[in-house]
Amino acid sequence: MQDSQIIRTEYSEVMKKSYIDYAMSVIIARALPDVRDGLKPVQRRTLYDMHELGIRYDKPYRKCARIVGDTMGKYHPHGDSSIYEALVVMAQEFKKGMILVDGHGNFGSIEGDGAAAMRYTEARLAKLTQDAYLADLDKDIIDFVPNFDETEKEPAVLPVRIPNLLVNGAEGIAVGMATSIPTHNLCEVIDAVKAYMKNDEISTKQLMKYIKGPDFPTGGIVVNKDDLLSIYESGTGKIKIRGKVDVEEMKGGKKRLVISEIPYTMIGAGIGKFLNDVCALVETKKTSDIVDISNMSSKEGIRIVIELKRGADALNLTNMLYKKTRLEDTFGVNMLAVADGKPETMGLKKIIEHHVDFQFELATRKYKTLLKKEQDKKEIQEGLIKACDVIDLIIEILRGSQSVKDAKACLVTGKTENIKFKSGISKKMAAMLRFTERQAQAILDMRLYKLIGLEIEALMKEHEETLSNIARYEDILNNYDSMADVIIADLDRIKKEYGRKRRTVVENGEEAVYEEKKIQEQEIVFLMDRFGYAKTIDVAAYERNKEAADSENKYILSCMNTGKLCIFTNTGKMHQIKVLDLPYGKFRDKGLPVDNVSNYDSTKEQIVYLCDSEQLRFAKLFFATKQGMIKKVEGTEFQVSKRTIAATKLSEDDEVVSVGVTADNLQVVLQSKDGYFLRFSAAEVPEKKKGAVGVRGIRLKKKDELECVHLFCEGAEYKTNYGGRELVLSRLKEAKRDGTGTKPRG
């Protein structure tokens, strides 16, 4: 048994190395596409597996479960869900510029519906994929590498003939980096590649004469055309996209907005969120011009209809949708891909440069393989032609031979010792034969019908064709222009067969300017019942129902409809509500829970004071807590823009008991739970900041706590109920702050 050796290593170094290895594995082997074929490993493996299974575009569909299982078992040892998701995305027309998989069954929808389970769906390769992604795999044009368990061979890259990275784009999140490449129009990209091949000094600006900008499968409008040049030069930036909105006339002079194209970023749950956002605009009274919204989208395309009131400003409403919803959105571009084994952010020209280099590499390997095959054919053809001229001698050699070995030796080296000839002349002629090994084998394998005149003629014609092919292939391999012509011809063929018109409009759109209707300022009455349901009503409606309103509601407050309300809670927080967020209507309307329009949580907090924010401008607020701490705070400290702030600082297990407007000429009476009352002048309460705890107002006995605070004018009679009887607080003896107080006699 060998002695074990302990290797001491710095722990941080081990962790660092392990994490870097993991990160690079995710970057290279999972999340980022290769710049050459524009595919992630899972996509490449899935397409190759379909090719190997023979699921071609002209063959019947096969179950996706079969494809996923085979891919996972042979090439991609990760979760089946990741393989199936990749397969589904390659079949979704609304996500890819050109679909690579022809799906049969439920492959999801643009509105976010997921695909059916893989056991139900079927798929096969799309014609483009077969034609431009997987062609010529038998011609040794790419390298094959061992799979994860070295039982199979898989392609290191697919021989893709078009710049798939641009045509289909890419999205992926790796470790510490992410890629986001928009889709482009196939015809425009091919034209740009041809332009680069004719002039490799071409600038990005000149390339953009061919590639106008992104071409999203969902259409839409790119509105920042001037920013595209810097985006395509650097490989990073932000593209602004809008949905397409048309105005349609209806009966009775009404209009409706019809959204027929959406931003690419709205695919999926974004459509549902857009519909909710439009409803929210109506509910919050941002607009009153929208009567109805309906989603009429189908397999034929997107159709979202927004019906408007008669006389509504359609243009202003369209701009409102752009400003307030995701109908105008931003697509973040980060053209990151794996180039030469390393992740790299590339501009448009760099991506095309890598693609063209890859095409020349593919073409070189392809035509070297074809040239080798033609040269082999030439050798055999020349041998057969030569054999036809001396066929009688060859037959004599074969008849006089004892074995195939002797006959072959005679044909190749002229060795005649073991062969019987009819004459010495034949023997001399046989000794002069010098066929190659391959030619000799072809002669031995030749059938007699090949000696027919027409067959010999066909052989001569085939030989001429072979010589022509050899000359052509040698010209392609030795001449840059000839190889470029072949690549361009292939691109033209693909463009003619698969090209389609651009769907996304690229322009310099004007900034969406939405003019909000000015709300007519008016005084209203805020009502909130004991269950926390709040609403606002007209002052006249309140006056008509004053008695019922006063008896049914816990809080009643007069305020302006453009103002804010402040809710002070026992937890020491202040929540603000915009009055406009509250429902305005009839007296008998139910209202809305305050929790719905503010950060106030009725399950965890209790309201101790509610007021109009304008009331705080000239007021001072008096705070008192359960542990007897008190202070005065300038009201302007609470006039803030935030929805929630800390109104006061509290000690542990303390809470706010009372908040109220105070002044120096008022009297304060603090009432404890055990029945102690302390009266003193409000002038004794120090003014503090809202972030301060305050000072002690009353000395509490053990387990006692402050229960109530009474504020009243000096000289006025102020009564309260205590212990089932009436108590006149204004008759209590005035003391100093921080006393123990007195307990009224029973």
Q: Categorize the per-residue pLDDT at 127 as very low, low, confident or very high, splitting at 50, 70 and 90.
A: very high
DSSP string computed for 33-85: -BTTT---HHHHHHHHHHHHTT--TTS--EEHHHHHHHHHHHT--S-HHHHHH
Judged by phi (left if over 0) then psi (alpha if -120 to 50, else beta), residue 170 lies in: beta
- The structure's pTM equals 0.74
Mean pLDDT of the chain: 90
For residue 599, the 8-state DSSP code is S
| Contact indicator for 46, 39 with CB cutoff of 8 Å | no
- Res 104: pLDDT: 96
Instruction: Evaluate whether 272 touches 295 at the Cβ level (below 8 Å).
Output: no
Pairing of strands 584-585, 533-538: parallel
Catalytic annotation, residues: 120
With 50 as the cut, is the pLDDT of residue 320 above it? yes
Question: CB atoms < 10 A from the CB of 648, how many?
Answer: 25
Query: Residue 23: is its pLDDT beyond 80?
Result: no
Predicted local confidence at residue 5, as pLDDT: 81
Q: Is 150 left (phi over 0), alpha (psi -120 to 50) or beta?
A: left
Mean pLDDT, rounded, for 223-239: 94
pLDDT above 80 for 517? no
Q: How, if at all, do strands 644-646 and 342-345 pair? A: unpaired
Distance CA 44, CA 38 (A): 9
Average pLDDT score over residue span 150-165: 94
Between residues 22 and 573, the one the model is more confident about = 573
Confidence of residue 195 (pLDDT cuts 50, 70, 90): very high
Q: What is the mean pLDDT of residues 307-315?
A: 88
- Alpha carbons 220 and 213: distance in angstroms, whole number: 12
Amino acid at 222: V
First-to-last CA distance in the chain? 96
Of 633, 637, 654, the C-alpha closest to 645 is 637
What HEC string does 525-554 produce?
EEEEECCCEEEEEEHHHHHHCHHHHHHHEE
What's the confidence (pLDDT) of residue 1?
Answer: 46
In whole angstroms, what is the distance from residue 672 CA to residue 706 CA?
4
pLDDT average, residue stretch 379-397 = 83
- Work out the average pLDDT over 563-577: 93
At 168-177, the pLDDT tens digits run: 999 988 888 8
